[in-house]
Amino acid sequence: MKRVDLAVIGAGPAGMAAATEAAGAGLRVLLLDEQRSAGGQVFRNVDAASEVRDKVLGQDFVVGRKLTMGLAHRDITHVTGASVWSIEDRVVRFVTGDEAQEVCAEHVLLATGALERAMPVPGWTLPGVMTAGAAQIMLKEAGIATRDAVLVGSGPLLYLVAVQLLRAGYPPRALVETQTRGDMRGALIHWRAALRGWRYLQRGAAMLNELRNAGIARFVGAREVTLLGRRRVEAVHFRCGGTVHELASDTVLLHHGVVPNVQAARAVGVPHRWNNRQHAFVPEVDRWGRTPVEGIWIAGDGAGIGGAQVAEQSGRIAGWAIAQALGGITLEERNARALPLISKRAIELSIRSFLERAYPPYEAALVPEDEATVCRCEEVSAQEIRAAATSGCTGPDQLKAFTRAGMGRCQGRFCGLTVTRLMAEERGVDPDEVGYFRIRPPIKPVSLGALAALHDPNDPLEQVGGHD
């Protein structure tokens, strides 16, 4: 079995930064990522993007090339198209195509990033409905822009995707925003912290101004959002300011925030706690990225949402800390490099309290109405989950036996938080008491052929039981 000093899972900002710093300190690093090139979601396909696409996606996208360049280090082995399905005792198992491989690492860094929060409003499973992030992936990967789309939800990513579509020559029809003007006024209690992140406010204001100058309609404070259609989505129905609106469109992009991708962290036994500000579970990590599980580290949005710059900073900090733990650098060297960056990271994170208050998730999608589908894989409705909770079902794992929710291909990645909130609401308890699905290997689908390929036919098999 191959051995490395550090296995990094995920080649986004955190993973790339950590791999570069660890390799620079003399560690042998294996960087595993599902994508065909480094970058993660933020810098997806950045090395192959044309000048035209660079202008569409903006300067914040182009800076990703500085991180991808660092992966040319001789002590970094970057494996693309790698799907990690098991991490046990720091043995990382993954598949590339049909080939199964495993590696033993002294330390494992999870840099798995974030997931878009599911937005289960009535009609969200209709063809023609996707997330704003999915539309951005099409733009980054293939230069394909959605035409005449209506963007629904809340958060700065809505503005970014709308601006990128506008620059690509396909301006969206409208933005239907679920945050209220009262949310923005309430966020002003964090004005001092927000001013520390003034660059984010400046970029946000510039995007809104660009959309305003282009004549893109905005509806702020939308409620009772319903997507209408028979064979595919045909319109967005909502109430705003006492008026009922219905916007015709065959493409709807949903978004109301991102949440940590915790599947791998839960699979290795890292404790998690409910974060009321992010409306999600986050893993327990210290300021270096170290978890309570020996040899397991987490950096980037997978440890709590902070954005690309914070992810990069956290990756560098974790890379230096792991290098120090393995003797690559001294404690004094680690502190000299990392402590100033920890302070800088705190400044970058200061804007989060303002953003989380100004752009909360859409409450009617956090705790959806009975008719809304929650688990798309198994077609389980909110009503079925509520009924199970009132019938004595106490948590998500038991819910699998009642409804099969969370047992589909995504393994609860997209329905898990909604399931937790629904059950907590129905039982009148905190989400921490309800908990989350227990995640076991395989954390990603893997074929039986790939599993069989890991067996060495020369190893003796232990026979259990006797034969007559």
**Rounded distance between C-alpha atoms, residue 19 and residue 111, angstroms:** 10
Which tokens belong to 83? 């799907």
- Do 34 and 83 belong to one domain? yes
- Do 128 and 248 belong to one domain? yes
Greater confidence, 369 or 60? 369
**Rounded distance between C-alpha atoms, residue 101 and residue 217, angstroms:** 51
- Burial tier of 212 (Cβ tally within 10 Å: 0-12, 13-18, 19+): exposed
- Burial tier of 37 (Cβ tally within 10 Å: 0-12, 13-18, 19+): middle
- Do 126 and 236 belong to one domain? yes
Bridging pattern class, strands 252-255 and 150-153? parallel
Query: Which conformational region is residue 289 in: left (phi greater than 0), alpha (psi within -120 to 50 degrees), or beta?
Result: left
Which tokens belong to 444? 């990603």
The DSSP H or E segment spanning 380 is strand 380-381
Query: Which conformational region is residue 186 in: left (phi greater than 0), alpha (psi within -120 to 50 degrees), or beta?
Result: alpha
298, 322, 354 — which closes off a domain? 354
- Do 226 and 130 belong to one domain? yes
Q: Can you name the residues that pair with 78 across neighbouring β-strands?
A: 31
How many residues comprise the chain?
468
354, 379, 408 — which closes off a domain? 354
Residue 465: the pLDDT is 42
- Burial tier of 247 (Cβ tally within 10 Å: 0-12, 13-18, 19+): middle
**Rounded distance between C-alpha atoms, residue 419 and residue 149, angstroms:** 29
- Do 208 and 126 belong to one domain? yes
301-311: average pLDDT = 95
3-state SS assignment for residue 393: coil
Q: Can you name the residues that pair with 40 across neighbouring β-strands?
A: none
**Rounded distance between C-alpha atoms, residue 211 and residue 459, angstroms:** 64
Which tokens belong to 382? 């909110």
271 belongs to a structural domain:
yes
- Counting residues of the chain whose pLDDT is more than 70, the rounded percentage is 97
Which tokens belong to 341? 């960056």
Under 8 Å between Cβ of 162 and 211: yes
Under 8 Å between Cβ of 264 and 443: yes
3-state SS assignment for residue 315: helix
- Do 251 and 272 belong to one domain? no
Which tokens belong to 397? 């794992």
Q: pLDDT for 96-113, tens place per residue?
A: 987 889 999 999 999 999
Residue 338 has pLDDT above 80, yes or no: yes
16 belongs to a structural domain:
yes
For position 39, which CATH number holds? 3.50.50.60
174 belongs to a structural domain:
yes
Q: How many domains does the chain have?
A: 3
Residue 200: the pLDDT is 86
Residue 315: the pLDDT is 98
Could you give the residue ranges of the DSSP H alpha helices within 215-330?
A: 263-267, 308-325
- Do 347 and 380 belong to one domain? no
Residue 457: the pLDDT is 67
What average pLDDT does the structure give for the chain? 93
Residue 301 has pLDDT above 50, yes or no: yes
279 belongs to a structural domain:
yes
DSSP string, 267-287: HTT--EEEETTTTEEEE---T
- Do 142 and 204 belong to one domain? yes
Q: pLDDT for 341-365, tens place per residue?
A: 999 999 999 999 999 999 999 999 9
- Do 33 and 84 belong to one domain? yes
Q: Please report, for residues 298, 300, 321, 331, 407, the alpha-carbon distance to residue 335 in angstroms, rounded to integers and kept in the order given.
A: 19, 20, 9, 6, 44
- Counting residues of the chain whose pLDDT is more than 90, the rounded percentage is 81
Q: pLDDT for 222-276, tens place per residue?
A: 999 999 999 999 999 999 988 999 999 999 999 999 999 999 999 999 999 999 9
3-state SS assignment for residue 207: helix
- Do 343 and 401 belong to one domain? no
Residue 328 has pLDDT above 80, yes or no: yes
165 belongs to a structural domain:
yes
287 belongs to a structural domain:
yes
Q: pLDDT for 407-444, tens place per residue?
A: 998 889 999 999 999 999 999 999 999 999 999 989 98
Residue 449 has pLDDT above 90, yes or no: no
197, 221, 255 — which closes off a domain? 255
- Do 21 and 72 belong to one domain? yes
Greater confidence, 456 or 150? 150
- Do 208 and 143 belong to one domain? yes
Which pLDDT band holds residue 323 (cuts at 50, 70, 90)?
very high
> Which residue carries 């974790």 as its tokens?
318
At residue 108's C-alpha, the angle toward residues 308 and 26, to 5°, is 85
Q: Please report, for residues 44, 130, 162, 247, 252, the alpha-carbon distance to residue 149 in angstroms, rounded to integers and kept in the order given.
A: 22, 10, 9, 10, 6
442 belongs to a structural domain:
no
Q: Can you name the residues that pair with 223 across neighbouring β-strands?
A: 239
82 belongs to a structural domain:
yes
For helices 156-167 and 198-213, what crossing angle results, to 10°?
A: 50
Look at residues 240, 225, 131 and name the one whose alpha carbon lies nearest to residue 181: 240
DSSP string, 136-171: HHHHHHH----SS-EEEE-SHHHHHHHHHHHHTT--
**Rounded distance between C-alpha atoms, residue 151 and residue 98, angstroms:** 38
Structural domain harbouring 26: 2-115+260-354
Under 8 Å between Cβ of 297 and 319: no
For position 424, which CATH number holds? 1.10.10
Under 8 Å between Cβ of 20 and 103: no
| Dihedral pair phi/psi, residue 292, rounded to 5° | -65, -15
